[in-house]
């Protein structure tokens, strides 16, 4: 489950519980609120599937932070990513040094993908 979906579940639950425990006991208001949020989610998903610019704005794009073993310090700073976090991702791939990395990409979901250099 993505962070957005988790927030959506809590939001919908919170809207539904208001009809049960608060002074406003209208199930109609709860259903209308839940349907509005659900339909907006469907609309945004539909629009992302049909419009690449909107998809890039909402989801972001992958960013290359290491290219051929050279770290782009400015991108690292702008992404608010610490070099130790980058090395943690490299160690998960069995790499010990930055020089062993061909590419490191910060993915749209915030994870770091590492591509190791080919041994010649």
pTM of the model: 0.61
The range of the structural domain enclosing residue 24 comes to: 3-59
pLDDT of 61: 87
Of the chain, the end-to-end C-alpha distance in Å amounts to 40
Measured in whole angstroms, the distance separating CA 72 from the mean position of its chain's CA atoms is 21
Overall domain count for the chain: 2
Tokens 């069995």, residue located = 94
Average pLDDT, the chain: 85
Q: Are residues 36 and 7 in the same domain?
A: yes
Q: Are residues 73 and 44 in the same domain?
A: no
User: Which distant-in-sequence residues (6+ apart) come within 8 Å of 104 by Cβ?
Assistant: 64, 65, 66, 86, 89, 90, 112, 113, 114, 115
Q: Are residues 112 and 68 in the same domain?
A: yes
Domain boundary among 14, 33, 59: 59
pLDDT 10s digits, 54-104: 988 888 889 999 998 888 999 989 988 888 988 999 999 888 888 889 999
1, pLDDT greater than 70: no
Q: Are residues 85 and 40 in the same domain?
A: no
């Amino acid at each position: 489950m993505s962070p957005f979906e988790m927030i959506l579940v809590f939001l919908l639950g919170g809207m539904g519980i208001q009809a049960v425990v608060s002074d406003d006991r209208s199930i109609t208001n709860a259903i209308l609120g839940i349907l509005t949020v659900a339909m907006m989610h469907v609309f945004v998903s539909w629009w992302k599937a049909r419009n690449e610019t909107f998809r890039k704005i909402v989801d972001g794009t992958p960013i290359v932070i290491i290219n051929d073993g050279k770290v782009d310090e400015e991108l690292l700073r702008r992404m608010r990513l610490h070099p130790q976090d980058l090395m943690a991702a490299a160690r998960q791939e069995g790499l010990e040094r930055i020089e062993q990395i061909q590419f490191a990409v910060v993915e749209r979901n915030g994870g770091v993908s590492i591509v190791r250099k080919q041994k010649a």
